[in-house]
Chain A
Amino acid sequence: MLKLPIESSSDLVAVRNAVGKLAEEIGFRNAQQVKIITAVSEIVRNVLNYAGTGGCIARRTSRGIRIEVWDSGPGIPVETIQAIETGSYVSKTGMGKGISGSKELMDSLSILSSPGNTQIFMEMNL
């Protein structure tokens, strides 16, 4: 199991590297590793951009990998989550494809968010 802080943009590179290495050890093919680290990169950057700091846990599961990213920032507004889900989200700060794209890349992505507590869970199976 990996537990990594998200405090500065160099942590973003550290998280990508560590999660990539874990995914490789678990036995994911290169194409899947790239998807996993890209999704992690999107979600971790959101923490840096919108919450400031947080953390990431990645672990091997019986079927593959599970990654949790959390922060104590303002939370993702319900309207934003709904817009992302219906594909109508337009971002002021980015391309607006971070969460929706990560959901496409992973086998599952779920969001639990309220002010002060945001958690994003992602899974990919071998």
Chain B
Amino acid sequence: MDQGKIPIIRMMRCLLVSIQMALHDELLEQLLDDLGAAIEEERPRGVVIELANVGIIDSFTTRILNQIGTMARLMGARTIVAGIQPAVAVTMVEMGIELEGIETVLGVDDALELLGFRIDDTEAAPTFTVEHADDEHAGATDGQT
């Protein structure tokens, strides 16, 4: 199928995915595979998946997200889903389908904060730090790999 790919951004030992296209089943299956490979290569602290522009999450989508969460956990990374639309969340609850083993937050900022990123913008020039608490790969976040 020729509908492109969901891009994975590799940044600060995180994998960032933002879904901005209609979710074909093949795209999601491809994302699962691609994330598996990317987690193996990057050993990220977390995988962040932003769904603010996704207008429908059905049981297939949920199952793939749960598979991503399980796979990432087995490989030592957290999965955080950000920005599920309220109407989509209500629909999932009514159907009785749940994200399991995945943390959910409102925005990507919150996701990055959960992963230990801190932005202090109270100063004129904002500072940016990364906490290393309980992160087994923490050593590499400050430059050495």
Contact = CB atoms under 8 A, between A and B. Distances in A.
Tell me whether chain A's interface is mostly helix, strand or loop, or mixed: helix
Interface of B: 1, 3, 22-26, 55-60, 62-63, 85-88, 90-91, 94-97
A101 to B, nearest CB: 3
Interface string A1-34: 0000000011011001100100000000011011
A122 B91 CA distance: 16
Interface of A: 9-10, 12-13, 16-17, 20, 30-31, 33-35, 37-38, 41-42, 45, 94-95, 97-98, 100-102, 104-105
A97 B95 contact: yes
A34 B91 contact: yes
B84 to A, nearest CB: 11
A34 B86 CA distance: 10
A94 B59 contact: yes
A31 B58 contact: no
A45 B85 CA distance: 22
A94 B95 contact: no
B91 A38 contact: yes
B21 to A, nearest CB: 10
A100 B94 CA distance: 10
B59 A98 contact: yes
Given A31-B87, A104-B94, A37 B55 contact: yes
A60 B95 CA distance: 24
A22 to B, nearest CB: 15
A35 B91 contact: yes
19 contacts: A10-B1, A13-B24, A17-B22, A31-B86, A33-B87, A34-B56, A34-B90, A35-B87, A35-B91, A41-B56, A45-B58, A94-B59, A95-B63, A97-B97, A101-B59, A101-B97, A102-B95, A104-B95, A104-B96
Contacts of A12: 24-25
Q: Which 8 A-B residue pairings sit nearest by Cβ, starting from the closest?
A: A101-B95, A31-B87, A34-B87, A95-B59, A41-B58, A9-B25, A104-B94, A97-B59
